[in-house]
Amino acid sequence: MTQSDATMTAQAGGKRLLAGTSVPFYWAAVGVLALAGMLITDSYVQHVLILCFLWCMVAAAWDLTLGYAGIFNYAQIALFAAGAYATAMLTLKFGVPPVAAIIAATAITALLGLAIALPCLRLQGEYVALFTFAIHLAMPPLIQLAKGLGTGGTMGLMGVPPIKFFGLTFGPLNKIGWYYLALTAAAISVYVIYYVVLRSRTGRAFVALRDSANFARSLGINEFKYKLLAFVLSALVTGFAGALYAHYTSVVTPKILGNEFILLAIVMLAIGGIGRFPGAVLGAFVVTILNELLRDAGTYRLLILGILVVLTLLLLPQGLASIWERVSRRKHKARTKLKE
């Protein structure tokens, strides 16, 4: 690949990111969701949307490493669980106020992400995937072994206290409060990932390393540094989402590390479109809502979701985001013709 090819590749990644997703458009969409919160009175619908917002953070953070930085990281749910367990243990065992516990849990998860990234980024390709997935598999027995430290073992931790600040209490029953709290957290997190980090020089370095690592290194881009940064940023957002999840549900158990959670996260990216904004966000909404609608299907639920992934990959190899891109291109062509 020539230098011009590498430059064009990075620019193409940036244009693909920006297509149809300008900053005003993004905040307008957030505003619509904020207005919808005033109209939705059903607590179950509010609950599903809160889960959508929390999963948006996880999916977007994973998309940062897997989709844009090209790191085959499969420790995402382990980091999510780390954030949840950290805040639960800090509040229940040490009496730390929830807000301070969330901040500390986010920092702890970022440090854990750093600890995982340092050795695994010295590996390549499928070996990174195996290493990070091994971290995921090791978490449940570690939680059991650390029962004496306050993890709760197989029973987990119950009664995680609600968040309190500015005279407001965000408990499991305060759905409307949690709706706006989760929406705010998701909106800021997604904005920082896609509109701040990925639009910056750092984001262009991620895309360049993903598409042509050898040539990017020849241009002086420090692969280890940028991939380490991507991993830590992803861990930070994921840990934050995990901490919020713990306070929302008030319960944290090893079930959070079960096959269902990681499969759902994978399906979100597969259906939405990896490395194609707003694919991860669309996937989080579609899969979370479908997962709730299919609760009555029991064991067939994951089978149906699996079939959906296969159909999506056959009909839309680049995920739902490709539909978004097609619509954006048509609008751009129509505007161009009008100007002519």
Count CA atoms closer than 13 A to 213's CA, side-chain side: 12
| β 168-170/163-165 pair status | antiparallel
Pairwise CA distance, residues 240 & 83, whole Å: 6
Pair of tokens at residue 282: 């669309």
Residue type, 181: L
> Minimal CA–CA distance to 227: which of 131, 114, 133, 132?
114
pLDDT at 7: 44
Pairwise CA distance, residues 279 & 323, whole Å: 10
Pairwise CA distance, residues 317 & 112, whole Å: 33
pLDDT at 313: 82
| Packing angle, helices 300-315 and 259-272, rounded to 10 | 20
Pairwise CA distance, residues 278 & 281, whole Å: 5
Other CB atoms within a 10 A radius of the CB of residue 62 amount to 27
pLDDT at 5: 44
pLDDT at 187: 97
Pair of tokens at residue 237: 């957002």
> Minimal CA–CA distance to 55: which of 212, 272, 275, 213?
272
pLDDT at 332: 61
Pair of tokens at residue 212: 């042509």
pLDDT at 83: 97
pLDDT at 306: 83
What phi and psi values does residue 164 have, to the nearest 5 degrees? -130, 125
| Contact partners, residue 289, CB within 8 Å, separation at least 6 | 48, 52
DSSP string, 172-228: TT-HHHHHHHHHHHHHHHHHIIIIIITTSHHHHHHHHHHH-HHHHHHTT--HHHHHH
Pairs from 92-99 (Cβ < 8 Å, separation ≥ 24):
92/150, 92/157, 92/159, 92/160, 92/161, 93/150, 97/164, 98/161, 98/162, 98/163, 98/164, 98/247, 99/163, 99/164, 99/165
Pairwise CA distance, residues 323 & 233, whole Å: 28
Pair of tokens at residue 134: 């091994």
Per-position pLDDT tens, the chain of length 340: 444 444 444 444 444 444 446 888 899 999 999 999 999 999 999 999 999 999 999 999 999 999 999 999 999 999 999 999 999 999 999 999 999 999 999 999 999 999 999 998 888 878 999 999 999 999 999 999 988 888 999 899 999 999 998 888 998 889 999 999 999 999 999 999 999 999 999 999 999 999 888 888 888 899 999 999 999 999 999 999 999 999 999 999 999 998 888 989 999 999 999 998 889 999 999 999 999 988 888 778 878 888 888 888 888 888 888 886 777 677 666 666 666 6
CB 142 within 8 Å of CB 134: no
CB 78 within 8 Å of CB 120: no
Tokens 């619908």 label which residue? 45
